[in-house]
Amino acid sequence: PLIEHSLGAEELQRAIDFSCRYNHMQLRAAEIQANRLAQNDLLHDFCAEAKIQFLDLTPALEQNAAAGRAVYFPDDAHWNAAGHEVAAQELAKFLALQQ
pLDDT for the residue 22? 75
CB 56 within 8 A of CB 91: no
pLDDT for the residue 1? 66
pLDDT for the residue 4? 67
In order, the DSSP letters of the chain are -HHHHHH-HHHHHHHHHHHHHHHT----HHHHHHHTTHHHHHHHHHHHHHT------HHHHHHHHHTT---B-TTSSSB-HHHHHHHHHHHHHHHHHH-
pLDDT for the residue 20? 80
pLDDT tens profile 38-61 = 999 999 999 999 999 999 999 999
pLDDT for the residue 30? 77
Query: Which residues in the chain show pLDDT less than 70?
Result: 1-5
